[in-house]
Structure 1
Amino acid sequence: MEVAILTVGDEVLAGDTPNTNATWLAEQITGRGSTVARILTLPDDRTLIAGTIGDWRGRFDAVVVTGGLGGTHDDVTADALADAFDRYLVVDPAVREDVLETAAAYRDANPELVAEHDLDLDVDAWASLPGGARAIINPEGLCPGCVLETVYAFPGVPAEMQALFDLVAHEFDGDVTSRTLYTPQPEGSMIDALAGVRERFDVQVGSYPDTGGLNRLKVSGEDADDVVAAAEWLQGRVTVDRVV
């Protein structure tokens, strides 16, 4: 399963907010045996987001979009997703009820803050999703996520995004397995070993510098036996501290 990740937000592009969502999603998806083929960050631009989703949904098995969902002025991802599928935004009654309940719980828990700032919530704006989308009720916040065909959309708040992804994580299960070898050897000394393992086994091998004085060799493939054999072959030719 090839997956593309699209993160949305002017604040990410400006460097004001670290893009931890993309890293977390990539780790979760690859850990479940699927492959992340693209990661891209876009500004809060409805036309640009819609065009990218429209292009990617025909090129990848799944597209994960995070950020720009909600009821504020710069939350345009739901509109863009609707545009990409030529749909209208609609209010799901169950989602609307959840938004009302979440807002009420917040008001009860923060009466002084609510009174001071006179918080006025546009419930329908927060509960609107593209027509035909499968709503995912948010257990950690106000804004729902949704799935429209092969496109998954989540809010950008990390705790909310993670909680929503966990509800659909099983839909990203794939066949890719991996082994990671940690080695004190410098990358330049392993060129022959890396070339040899690629010639002998049907696997992908990546070499990555790491912190703490150890480099990483990641062996991945769809055949678990090949991955194990390739890792063992490398262990006979590279100084290995540990295998994960």
Structure 2
Amino acid sequence: MQAEIITIGDEILIGQIVDTNSAWMAKELNKVGIDVSRINSISDQKSDIINSLEESLERVSLVLMTGGLGPTNDDITKKTLSDYFGMNLIEDPRLFKRVKERLAGYGIPMNKFNREQALIPDKARIIDNNFGSAPCMWFEKNGKVVISMPGVPFEMKGIMQEEVLKALQKHFSTPAIVHKTIMTEGIGESVLAEMLIDWEGNLPDYMHLAYLPSPGEVRLRISTKGESEDRLKAGINEQIELLKKIIPNNIFAYDDMPIEQSVAELLLEQGMTLGTAESCTGGYIAHLISSHAGSSRYFKGSVVSYSNEIKENVLKVKSDDLEKYGAVSQQVVEQMAKGARELLNVDYALATSGIAGPDGGTEEKPVGTIWIAMASKNGVISKKLSLYKARERNIRVSALKVLGLLLQELKKKDVYCNCSN
């Protein structure tokens, strides 16, 4: 079962707003067995609406539209669809009463434009909008369905969750769809793909593997489709067991979660604490960790030591080493980690020092040269990264890489598997 989404609004096309509706709708439709094969954003023009709709109906049996249902002259979707399906607009007394009461609640008097919100196509199926005044309209033609919803995300999501998704499941026969995301770190996409050639080649026909890379990590998403959800889940678990034997040290989660959340779970399980000493990442690691609720139970704090003065006076980095090796060096980053662990009185301390860019590099230490370190009671582990010329990317990758060092250390002490469905 395939569908297409059409979003209507000049504000999307000129970049005034970002179309978040389509991504959310596609995700929710997929959960009920409906694949979105195409997403199209168009202007508030009658010809564009009709042309896009006709093209979509040639390809699929379900089209979902958002936008153009407001009370102003540029909102023409309702009139356009009514004309296209050969219907007349009539005033719905129940909807008129609802619009009037809603406006009264805001202290707004009814006017001509507001009253037009109560007009509905006479032969369309009207789905209640309990979150706003614009109605949701369900049209059918030659066995195909077109649903028009408000473009306001709050209203669209409410209508979808309360009514539309349930109605679609009753109207169409849809298969079970199950996705599973495996989070990996410490290995690039191309190398990972090479390692998984045989495993991927032997996946059952009803399974599809997608590689979803981002700075510092790669998501592996297994997608399955069939009649039995239990069978699909069992098949996925069998493949995960095989995958774990190939890349046991690179998997950090069996759900779509960030690496700092996996680190947090292990720190909590083991009763350990964490602190950071950051130079080139400027507090970004602390931001990632503290952005999750409950982080105060394991995260004690951070020292953002941009200057050598702070490195020396607060983290107790030796001035001789700063002068001899420079701030971007193995010697200095290891002392930063040790100093943070002692200063913050934590079990683990992470440190970064490097040249994030876009300038500041030298022939010996070009932009993207970054040292990371982790200190614990067992000593210090450090690693040199040779990254990019893009500052934001360097900061994020450095943060994820040093969190990866900690994750590997924590996994040595804990059998970590969260692969149940």
Question: Normalization by structure 2: what TM-score?
Answer: 0.51
Provide the rounded CA distance (Å) in 2 between the counterparts of 1:22 and 1:75.
19
Q: Pick closer, same or farther for the CA change 1:122–1:189 going to 2, 3 Å.
A: same
Q: Distance in 2 between matches of 1:37 and 1:231?
A: 28
* TM-aligned CA distance change 1:6 to 1:220, over 3 Å: same
Contact 2:100 2:110 in 1 (8 A): no
Max Rg structure = 2
Match of 1:186 in 2: 188
Q: Structure 1 residue 155 and structure 2 residue 155: aligned?
A: no
Shift in Å at residue 119 of structure 1?
A: 6.8
Q: Deviations over 1:96-153 (max 9, x none)?
A: 222222122222xxxxxx4xxx773434421223332111222122211121121111
How far has the Cα of 1:157 moved from its partner?
Answer: 1.0
Using the TM superposition, name which of 36-45 and 198-207 deviates more.
198-207
Conservation of the 8 A alpha-carbon contact between 2:70 and 2:117: yes
Q: Counterpart in 1 of 2:342? A: none
Tell me the secondary structure at the aligned position of residue 122 of structure 1. helix
Unpaired runs of at least 5, structure 1: 108-113
1:234 counterpart letter in structure 2: L
> Aligned partners of 2:147, 2:197: CA distance in 1, in Å?
36
- Equivalent of 2:221, from 211, 218, 221? 218
Q: CA RMSD in A?
A: 2.2
Higher mean C-alpha displacement, 193-202 vs 129-138: 193-202
- Partners in 2 of 1:228 and 1:129 — Cα distance? 49
1:229 aligns with 2:238: yes
1:15-55 CA-partner distances (Å, limit 9, x unpaired) = 11111111111222223332111111001111111222233
**2:39 matched to 1:35?**
no
**RCO (CA 8 Å, sep 6+): is it higher in 1 or 2?**
1
Q: Find the aligned partners of 1:50 and 1:103 in 2 and give their Cα distance.
A: 32
Q: Say if 2:21 and 2:153, in contact at 8 Å, map to a contact too.
A: yes
With over 3 angstroms needed to count, the CA separation of the structure-2 counterparts of 1:235 and 1:160, relative to structure 1, is same
Distance 1:70 1:194 in 2: 52
Equivalent position amino acid for 1:181 in 2? I
Q: After superposition, where does 1:43-192 map in structure 2 within 5 Å?
A: 43-107=43-107, 114=108, 120-149=111-140, 150-167=145-162, 168-173=164-169, 174=174, 175-184=176-185, 185-192=187-194
Match of 1:110 in 2: none
Name the SS of the counterpart of 2:251 in structure 1.
Answer: coil
Q: Using a 3 Å threshold, how does the CA distance of structure 1 residues 91 and 58 change in structure 2: closer, same or farther?
A: farther
Partner Cα separation in structure 1 for residue 22 and residue 112 of structure 2 = 29
What SS class does the counterpart of residue 222 from structure 1 fall into? strand
Please give the alpha-carbon distance, in whole angstroms, between the structure 2 residues aligned to 1:71 and 1:140: 15
Find the aligned partners of 1:91 and 1:156 in 2 and give their Cα distance.
Answer: 22
The amino acid that maps onto 1:87 is M
Kindly provide the amino acid, as one letter, of the partner of residue 50 in structure 1. Answer: I
Extract unaligned runs of 5+ from structure 2.
Answer: 227-231, 256-421
Tell me, yes or no, if the aligned pair for 1:98 and 1:137 is still in contact at 8 Å.
Answer: no
Query: Per-residue deviation at 1:199?
Result: 4.3
Residues 122, 61 of structure 1: alpha-carbon distance in 2 compared, 3 angstrom cutoff: same
1:152 and 1:123 mapped to 2: Cα distance?
22
Count of residue correspondences: 234
Is the Cα–Cα contact under 8 Å of residues 69 and 78 in structure 2 kept in the other structure?
yes
Q: Is the 8 A contact 2:103 2:110 kept in 1?
A: no
* Distance verdict in 2 for CA 1:216–1:72, change over 3 Å: same
1:208 paired with 2:212, answer yes
User: Aligned to 2:246, what secondary structure does the other structure show?
Assistant: coil
User: Structure 1, residues 32-81: CA drift from partner, whole Å, max 9, x if none?
Assistant: 33211111100111111122223323422321111111221111111222
Q: How far apart, CA to CA, are the structure 2 residues paired with 1:126 and 1:144?
A: 8
Structure 1 SS opposite 2:106: helix
- Pair 1:83–1:58, CA change in 2 (3 A): farther
Label 1:220 to 1:158 Cα distance change in 2 as closer, same or farther (>3 A): same
Query: What is the rounded CA distance, in whole Å, between the counterparts of 1:215 and 1:18 in structure 2?
Result: 25
How far is the alpha carbon of 1:190 from its aligned partner?
A: 2.2
Q: How far off is 1:181 after superposition?
A: 0.8
Q: Output the amino acid matched with 1:210.
A: S
Identity %: 29
Q: 1: CA distance between counterparts of 2:153 and 2:10? A: 16
